Chains A and B, each alone.
Chain A
Amino acid sequence: MAQLSIRSVSKSYGAVQVLDDVSVEVEEGSFVVLLGPSGCGKSTLLHAVAGLNPIDSGSIVIGDRNVTNLPARERDVAMVFQSYALYPTMTVAQNIAFPLKMRGLDRRTSDEKVAGVARLLQIEPLLSRLPRELSGGQRQRVAIGRALVRDPRLFLFDEPLSNLDAALRTELRAEIKRLHQSIRRTMVYVTHDQTEALTLADKIVVLKAGKIEQTGTPLSLYDDPDNVFVAGFIGTPRMNFLKATVVDDGKALTAGEARVDITHLKARLDNGRTVTLGIRPEHLDEKEGVTLSLAVDVTERLGSTSYVHGALPSGETVVAERREDQPRFGETITLRFQPTRARIFDAEGNRIR
Chain B
Amino acid sequence: MRPVAAASDPTRHFFQPIIVCLTVASVALTLFVIWISLHDLSLMRAGREKFVGLDNYIRFLGDPRAMAALWRTVLFTVLATVIEIALGLAVVLFLDRDFAMKRLVRTLLLVPIIMTPVVVGLTWRFLFDPATGMANYLLSLVGIAQVDWLGSPRIALFSVLVADIWQWTPFVILLVMAALESAPTDPLNAARVDGAREWQVTWYVLLPMLRRALAIVALIRAIDSIKAFDLFYIMTRGGPALSTETLNYYGYIVAFTNFDISYALAIAIILTVFTNVALLTMYSVLFPKTGDR
Asked if A41 is an interface residue, CB under 8 A from chain B, the answer is no
- Interface contact A89-B189, CB-CB below 8 Å: no
In the bound assembly, the distance between CA atoms of A103 and B196 in angstroms comes to 8
In the bound assembly, the distance between CA atoms of A319 and B204 in angstroms comes to 54
Known: A51-B192, A88-B208, A102-B194. 9 other contacts (CB 8 A): A47-B189, A50-B193, A52-B193, A72-B193, A73-B196, A79-B190, A83-B184, A87-B205, A130-B293
Asked if A246 is an interface residue, CB under 8 A from chain B, the answer is no
Instruction: Using CB atoms and an 8 Å cutoff, list the residues of chain A in contact with chain B.
Output: 47, 50-52, 71-73, 75, 77-79, 81, 83-90, 98-99, 102-103, 130, 143, 146, 150, 156
- Interface contact B186-A81, CB-CB below 8 Å: yes
Closest to B190 in A: A85
If A85-B184, A130-B291 touch, whether A73 touches B190 (CB-CB below 8 Å) is: no
Instruction: Using CB atoms and an 8 Å cutoff, list the residues of chain B in contact with chain A.
Output: 184, 186-187, 189-197, 200, 204-205, 208-209, 211, 291, 293
- Interface contact A89-B196, CB-CB below 8 Å: no
- Interface contact B204-A98, CB-CB below 8 Å: yes
- Interface contact A102-B209, CB-CB below 8 Å: no
If A83-B184, A87-B205 touch, whether A72 touches B192 (CB-CB below 8 Å) is: yes
If A89-B208, A89-B293 touch, whether A78 touches B193 (CB-CB below 8 Å) is: yes
Indicate which residue in A73, A84, A90 contacts B193 across the interface (CB closer than 8 Å). Answer: A73
- Interface contact A73-B197, CB-CB below 8 Å: yes
In the assembled complex, which residues on chain B have CB atoms less than 8 Å from the CB atom of A47?
189
User: Secondary structure at chain A's binding surface: helix, strand, loop or mixed?
Assistant: loop
Q: How far is the CB of A225 from chain B (nearest CB, A)?
A: 34
Closest to A71 in B: B192
In the assembled complex, which residues on chain B have CB atoms less than 8 Å from the CB atom of A156?
193
- Interface contact A87-B187, CB-CB below 8 Å: yes
Q: How far is the CB of B182 from chain A (nearest CB, A)?
A: 12
- Interface contact A77-B193, CB-CB below 8 Å: yes
Indicate which residue in B186, B197, B200, B291 contacts A85 across the interface (CB closer than 8 Å). Answer: B186
Indicate which residue in B189, B194, B196, B209 contacts A88 across the interface (CB closer than 8 Å). Answer: B209
Number of A-B contacts (CB under 8 A): 74
In the assembled complex, which residues on chain A have CB atoms less than 8 Å from the CB atom of B209?
88-89
In the bound assembly, the distance between CA atoms of A186 and B102 in angstroms comes to 42
In the bound assembly, the distance between CA atoms of A89 and B184 in angstroms comes to 13
- Interface contact A85-B187, CB-CB below 8 Å: yes
In the assembled complex, which residues on chain A have CB atoms less than 8 Å from the CB atom of B205?
87, 89
- Interface contact B187-A102, CB-CB below 8 Å: no
- Interface contact A51-B291, CB-CB below 8 Å: no
Closest to B205 in A: A87
Q: How far is the CB of B9 from chain A (nearest CB, A)?
A: 33
In the bound assembly, the distance between CA atoms of A143 and B193 in angstroms comes to 12
Q: How far is the CB of A279 from chain B (nearest CB, A)?
A: 42
In the assembled complex, which residues on chain B have CB atoms less than 8 Å from the CB atom of A81?
186, 189-190
In the bound assembly, the distance between CA atoms of A146 and B187 in angstroms comes to 12
In the assembled complex, which residues on chain B have CB atoms less than 8 Å from the CB atom of A90?
208
In the assembled complex, which residues on chain A have CB atoms less than 8 Å from the CB atom of B194?
73, 78, 98-99, 102, 146, 150
- Interface contact A89-B211, CB-CB below 8 Å: yes
Q: How far is the CB of B43 from chain A (nearest CB, A)?
A: 55
In the assembled complex, which residues on chain A have CB atoms less than 8 Å from the CB atom of B191?
87, 98, 102
Closest to A80 in B: B190
In the bound assembly, the distance between CA atoms of A71 and B189 in angstroms comes to 11
In the bound assembly, the distance between CA atoms of A76 and B193 in angstroms comes to 8
In the bound assembly, the distance between CA atoms of A99 and B191 in angstroms comes to 8
Closest to A103 in B: B195
In the bound assembly, the distance between CA atoms of A72 and B205 in angstroms comes to 16
In the bound assembly, the distance between CA atoms of A75 and B196 in angstroms comes to 12
In the assembled complex, which residues on chain A have CB atoms less than 8 Å from the CB atom of B211?
89
In the assembled complex, which residues on chain B have CB atoms less than 8 Å from the CB atom of A86?
187, 190
Q: How far is the CB of A219 from chain B (nearest CB, A)?
A: 32
- Interface contact A51-B193, CB-CB below 8 Å: yes
In the bound assembly, the distance between CA atoms of A87 and B202 in angstroms comes to 12
In the bound assembly, the distance between CA atoms of A102 and B190 in angstroms comes to 12
Q: How far is the CB of A117 from chain B (nearest CB, A)?
A: 14
Closest to A90 in B: B208
In the bound assembly, the distance between CA atoms of A282 and B186 in angstroms comes to 41
In the bound assembly, the distance between CA atoms of A86 and B191 in angstroms comes to 9
In the assembled complex, which residues on chain B have CB atoms less than 8 Å from the CB atom of A99?
194-195
Closest to A72 in B: B192
- Most chain B Cβ neighbours within 10 Å, of A50, A73, A77, A156: A73
Q: How far is the CB of B223 from chain A (nearest CB, A)?
A: 25
| 5 A-B pairs with least C-beta separation | A89-B208, A85-B186, A102-B195, A85-B190, A99-B194
30 A-B interface contacts by CB (under 8 A): A51-B193, A72-B189, A73-B193, A73-B194, A73-B197, A75-B193, A79-B193, A81-B189, A81-B190, A83-B184, A85-B184, A85-B187, A85-B190, A87-B190, A87-B205, A87-B208, A88-B184, A88-B187, A89-B205, A98-B194, A98-B204, A99-B195, A102-B191, A102-B200, A103-B195, A130-B291, A130-B293, A146-B190, A150-B194, A156-B193
In the bound assembly, the distance between CA atoms of A143 and B184 in angstroms comes to 15
Indicate which residue in B192, B195, B196, B204 contacts A52 across the interface (CB closer than 8 Å). Answer: B192
In the bound assembly, the distance between CA atoms of A90 and B209 in angstroms comes to 10
Closest to A82 in B: B186
